[in-house]
């Protein structure tokens, strides 16, 4: 038997006889290295002669029982017994010698294992030291960085301390601003430095606010102006910081009071010169009830179209009447002018000098014509100006009417849009009302078909959970409230759990310990293992009791020797392996398949129980599917699970 065969036999012995889980065993290479050299014979002996406690008890019981049967059924001669004893003694001596040799060969192997453990421990310590060195280096780097930051902060604090000391020394000096002020709250002597700096800061602030006001009004814009505003603001901040760092607070306060008093005096002078009521009356404004009203013109009242037509008609009648009067006056003036011209011509004809100078008549005619033309042009200019004013008024009126027309059109469009929305809403409401009875019927059918059958199991489970909660409440009824109010942090600080919270203090646990003969020094976690061991032992005893009547009724010759008994045990063991191992492997495969399908089944169940058909109407979709599609998906999933279960079974 080679090394691989011994390794495979050792692995099979660990799994089948000793009951170790296959996934927790070492690899095949580890088994092969373990069975190398002189250890192969040791492991052969272990595989063939070492068994579990339960199997050893069973074999010992069977051997004792069949030995009793042999002693009761057969009478062997003393010589045969003596030979057997001598043979057994020889075998025992040989086995002892072999065991001693094996012990001697195990000593270097144990020393080698100890050396390997020490080497692994030393390597682990070296690795731990390296990790500690890395951590210490990282801590040193961080500590140096923090030290550098602290030094920078300390230098900054020292600088501030020196500056504050200088400011405190300056604060003790009196600059005498209050003594130098006159009746008009102005300084008589030279201005102190703090007042000059404050005046500069205030002027910079005024420029910044003026730039903001100009930007709001719209007189300035663009990226250049924004950059300029930012520069002005930053300049003002720098000036303020320098002012606070250069002068003490009491000097700043005195300077601000001085500037405030100057501004107050100037404002009082300006306010004394301003007559608000008179200016408002001159500007034809009225101020009453916190409102400023323009009384220069009467308030325009929007008139009707009929009134406008009547007004235009009256205006046309008035203009026609004025035109008739003007034409009449023109005729009268023309006739008068004609008579005056005739009289002047007669005078010129009667005078002897006019005959000598005929140019005088021409001058008179031309002067008369010039006067007529001038007057005509003046009248035309006045009419043109009047027509221009009326045209401007009409243009403004037309513009206001166009704006009102646009507002009316926009309002009409808004009304049309609202009407369309109202129609769509009414239509949707009517369709929803028509779908409500159908949805209610579908929901009732869904509840009757899918949920009613779960009412009994759910109520049973609810009552069981209620009883479990009630029993837990009764279990904690004897526990003091302060012990239950302890937090995990309190338990970590104290280190001890209160006696009232221990499971060993409960009556049920005490009764369970007495029933299972569980020792008090073991932890409660091992109670389940103890129960499993006792259950396996009970099952083994039950099997022995079941086999006892069958064994008693069998003839004595069927099991005459121990070799026959061993062969019988091996046969039963082979039958059990052939019967149960395939079933166990098959069941393990089914469990693995079910584990793989658990995630998909969980997603399908979650999609089903969170589907919109449980809470909403059927025409609403959830994740792109409606209620009927969700039901179809659920049916397909159930059918697929059933098919997989049938294939695996």
The DSSP result for 54-116, as a single string, is: HHHHHHHHHHHHHHHHHHHH----HHHHHHHHHHHHHHHHHHHHHHHHHHHHHHHHHHHHHHH
Residue 502 structure tokens = 């221990």
Over residues 169-175, the mean pLDDT reads: 75
pLDDT of residue 471: 67
Written as six digits, the tokens of 243 are 């002012």
The residue among 186, 617, 313, 281 whose CA lies nearest residue 444 is 617
DSSP secondary structure of 538-579? HHHHHHHHHHHHHHHHS-GGGG-SHHHHHHHHHHHHHHHHHH
Give the N- to C-terminal CA distance of the chain in Å, as an integer. Answer: 39
Distance in angstroms (rounded) separating the CA atoms of residues 3 and 29: 11
Closest to 16 in 3D by CA, of 44, 45, 55? 55
40, 6 Cβ separation under 8 angstroms: yes
Distance CA(471)–CA(507), nearest Å, equals 13
Centroid of chain to Cα 283: 62
pLDDT band at residue 209 under the 50/70/90 scheme: confident
Taking alpha carbons only, the member of 289, 309, 310, 286 closest to residue 298 is: 286
Contact 7, 32 (CB under 8 A): yes
Identify the pLDDT of residue 227: 72
pLDDT of residue 440: 67
What letter would DSSP give residue 222?
S
Longest dimension (CA), the chain: 212
Q: What SS3 class is residue 181?
A: strand
**DSSP string across 398-465:** HHHHHHHHHHHHHHHHHHHHHHHHHHHHHHHHHHHHHHHHHHHHHHHHHIIIIIGGGHHHHHHHHHHH
The helix, strand and coil proportions of the chain, stated in percent and rounded to the nearest 5, come to: 80, 0, 15
CA 30/CA 14 separation, integer angstroms? 14
- Amino acid 279: pLDDT: 61
**Residue 32 near residue 3, CB atoms below 8 Å:** yes
pTM for this entry: 0.28
pLDDT of residue 558: 47
- Kindly state the average pLDDT of the residues 601-612: 59
CA-CA-CA-CA dihedral for 456, 458, 463, 464, to nearest 10: 110
Q: What is the mean pLDDT of residues 158-186?
A: 70
Q: Which residue has the tokens 């604090």?
A: 157
The H-or-E segment that residue 285 falls in is strand 285-288
pLDDT digits (tens, 9 = 90+) for 292-340: 555 555 555 556 667 777 887 888 888 888 888 888 888 888 888 788 7
Are 187 and 180 contacting, i.e. CB atoms less than 8 angstroms apart? yes
**What would the two tokens of residue 138 be?**
């990282």
Percent of the chain with pLDDT over 70: 70
CA distance 429 to 432: 5
Please give the full DSSP string across 287-315, using - where no structure is assigned: EETTEEEE-SSPPP----HHHHHHHHHHH
> 25-34, 195-204, 263-272, 474-483: which range is least confident on average?
474-483
Structure tokens at 363: 């001058």
Greater confidence (93 vs 552) lies with 93
Determine the Cα–Cα distance for residues 40 and 29; give it in Å rounded to an integer.
Answer: 14
Q: Report the alpha-carbon distance of residue 630 to residue 632 in Å, rounded.
A: 5
Distance between CA atoms of residues 600 and 444, nearest Å: 29
Considering 71-75, 76-80, 407-411, the range whose residues carry the highest mean pLDDT is: 407-411
- 633 burial type by CB count under 10 A (0-12 exposed, 13-18 middle, 19+ buried): middle
Report how far residue 205's alpha carbon sits from residue 207's, in angstroms, rounded to the nearest whole number: 5
Backbone angles phi, psi at 477, to 5 degrees: -70, -30
- Residue scoring higher pLDDT (222 or 622): 622
For residue 393, is pLDDT > 80?
yes
Q: What is the mean pLDDT of residues 402-414?
A: 79
pLDDT at 36: 74
Q: Give the mean model confidence (pLDDT) for residues 401-429.
A: 76
What are the tokens at 245? 């760092």
Task: Name residues whose C-beta falls within 8 Å of residue 38's C-beta, 6 or more positions apart in sequence.
Answer: 105
**In the prediction, which pLDDT does 375 show?**
80
Asked whether residue 106 carries a pLDDT value surpassing 50, the answer given is yes
Interval 10-22 mean pLDDT: 80
Which pLDDT band holds residue 559 (cuts at 50, 70, 90)?
very low
With contact defined as beta carbons under 8 Å apart, do 245 and 163 qualify?
yes
What is the tens place of the pLDDT at every residue in 44-60?
Answer: 877 777 777 777 777 77
- Give me 428's structure tokens: 């949707």
CA distance 131 to 136: 8
Of residues 602 and 336, more confidence is placed in 336
Q: Which of 162-166, 185-189, 277-281, 434-438 has the highest mean pLDDT?
A: 162-166
Q: Which of 199, 313, 180, 211 lies closest to 263 in space, CA to CA?
A: 199
What pLDDT is recorded for position 557?
47
pLDDT of residue 450: 67
Residue located via tokens 């250049």: 224
Helix axes 193-217, 223-246, angle to 10 degrees: 160
Residues 348-360: tens digit of each pLDDT: 677 655 454 555 6
């Amino acid at each position: 038997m080679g090394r691989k065969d011994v390794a495979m036999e050792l692995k099979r012995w660990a799994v089948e006889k000793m009951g170790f889980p296959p996934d927790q065993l070492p690899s095949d290479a580890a088994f092969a290295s373990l069975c190398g050299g002189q250890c192969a014979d040791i492991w052969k002996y272990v595989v063939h002669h070492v068994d579990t406690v339960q199997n050893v008890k069973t074999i010992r019981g069977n051997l004792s029982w069949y030995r009793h049967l042999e002693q009761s059924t057969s009478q062997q001669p003393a010589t045969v017994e003596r030979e057997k004893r001598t043979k057994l003694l020889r075998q025992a001596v040989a086995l002892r010698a072999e065991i001693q040799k094996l012990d001697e060969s195990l000593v270097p192997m144990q020393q080698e294992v100890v050396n390997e453990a020490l080497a692994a421990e030393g390597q682990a310590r070296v690795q731990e030291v390296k990790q500690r060195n890395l951590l210490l280096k990282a801590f040193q780097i961080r500590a140096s960085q923090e030290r550098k930051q602290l030094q920078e902060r300390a230098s900054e604090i020292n600088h501030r301390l020196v500056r504050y000391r200088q400011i405190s020394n300056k604060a003790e000096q009196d600059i005498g601003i209050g003594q130098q002020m006159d009746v008009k709250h102005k300084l008589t002597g030279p201005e102190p430095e703090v007042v000059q700096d404050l005046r500069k800061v205030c002027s910079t602030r005024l420029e910044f606010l003026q730039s903001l006001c100009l930007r709001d009004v719209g007189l300035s814009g663009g990226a250049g102006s924004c950059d300029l505003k930012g520069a002005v603001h930053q300049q003002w901040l720098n000036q303020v910081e320098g002012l606070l760092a250069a002068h003490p607070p009491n000097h700043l306060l005195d300077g601000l009071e001085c500037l405030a008093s100057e501004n107050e005096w100037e404002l009082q002078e300006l306010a004394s010169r301003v007559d608000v009521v008179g200016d408002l009356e001159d500007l034809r404004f009225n101020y009453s009830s916190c409102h400023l009203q323009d009384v220069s013109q009467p308030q325009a009242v929007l008139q009707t179209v009929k009134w406008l037509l009547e007004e235009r008609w009256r205006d046309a009648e008035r203009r026609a009447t004025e035109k008739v009067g003007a034409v009449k006056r023109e005729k009268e003036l023309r006739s008068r002018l004609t008579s005056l011209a005739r009289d002047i011509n007669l005078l010129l004809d009667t005078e002897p000098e006019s005959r000598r100078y005929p140019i005088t008549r021409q001058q008179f005619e031309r002067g008369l014509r010039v006067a007529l033309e001038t007057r005509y042009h003046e009248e035309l200019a006045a009419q043109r100006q009047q027509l221009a004013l009326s045209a401007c008024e009409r243009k403004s009126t037309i513009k206001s009417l166009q704006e009102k027309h646009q507002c009316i059109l926009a309002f009409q469009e808004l009304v049309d849009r609202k009407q369309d929305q109202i129609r769509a809403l009414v239509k949707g409401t009517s369709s929803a009302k028509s779908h409500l009875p159908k949805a209610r019927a579908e929901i009732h059918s869904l509840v009757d078909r899918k949920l009613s059958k779960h009412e009994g199991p759910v109520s049973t489970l609810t009552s069981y959970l209620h009883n479990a909660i009630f029993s837990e409440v009764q279990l904690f009824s004897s526990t003091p409230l302060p012990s239950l109010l302890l937090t995990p942090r309190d338990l970590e600080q104290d280190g001890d759990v209160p006696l009232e919270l221990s499971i060993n203090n409960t009556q049920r646990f005490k009764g369970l310990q007495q029933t299972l003969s569980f020792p008090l020094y073991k932890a409660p976690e091992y109670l389940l293992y103890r129960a499993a061991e006792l259950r396996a032992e009970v099952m083994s005893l039950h099997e022995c009791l079941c086999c006892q009547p069958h064994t008693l009724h069998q003839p004595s010759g069927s099991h005459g020797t121990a070799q026959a008994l061993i062969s019988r045990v091996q046969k039963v063991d082979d039958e059990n392996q052939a019967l149960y191992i395939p079933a166990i492997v098959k069941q393990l495969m089914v469990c693995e398949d079910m584990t793989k399908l658990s995630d998909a089944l969980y997603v399908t169940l979650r999609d089903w129980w969170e589907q919109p058909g449980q809470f909403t109407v059927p025409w609403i979709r959830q994740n792109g599917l409606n209620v009927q599609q969700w039901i179809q998906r659920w049916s397909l999933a159930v059918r697929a699970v059933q098919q997989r279960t049938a294939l695996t079974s």
